[in-house]
Structure 1
Amino acid sequence: MINKLKRIPAFFREVNDELKKVNWSSRQELISAAWLVVIVSVILTVYIFAVDIGMSNLIQLILK
């Protein structure tokens, strides 16, 4: 148990060292990516809504 407790600080040092190696995106890249996600989500939402309404109307026509 004591051996595991001694390894905890080493673990966090290694995590910190690895985080320093990460190539973080710039603020502008993050904003651009976020807008892309929003735009694609809106487009897909509208598409799925249109298909849903179309299929609903088609099924109603078939059942009449």
Structure 2
Amino acid sequence: MSGAVKRTSEFLRDVVKELKRVSWPTRKELTRYTGVVVATVIFIAIYFAVVDMGISSLVRLILG
């Protein structure tokens, strides 16, 4: 059991080391990135809604 505990604690120490090396974004960058993601999701949702309405209208026209 002590081998598993030793490996786990070594893993957690390595995780902390790696997290200290991470280049975290500033608040301004994070806000900008979030805005880009939200705008992209909204654009794609509108695009697919329009395409869906077009296909639905075409199917209704064909089926009568």
Q: What residue number does 1:38 align with? A: 38
Identity %: 39
Shift of residue 3, structure 1, vs aligned partner:
2.2
Q: Are residues 1:3 and 2:8 paired?
A: no
Which residues of structure 2 form unaligned runs of 5+? none
State the TM-score, normalizing by the size of structure 1: 0.84
RMSD across aligned positions (CA): 1.3
TM-score normalised according to structure 2 size: 0.84
Instruction: Identify unmatched segments of 5+ residues in structure 1.
Output: none
Of 54-63 and 10-19, the range deviating more from structure 2: 10-19
Question: How big is each residue's C-alpha offset from its partner over 1:3-56, in whole Å with a ceiling of 9 and x where there is no partner?
Answer: 222333332222211111111111111111111111011111111111111111
Q: C-alpha distance in 1, partners of 2:28/2:63? A: 52
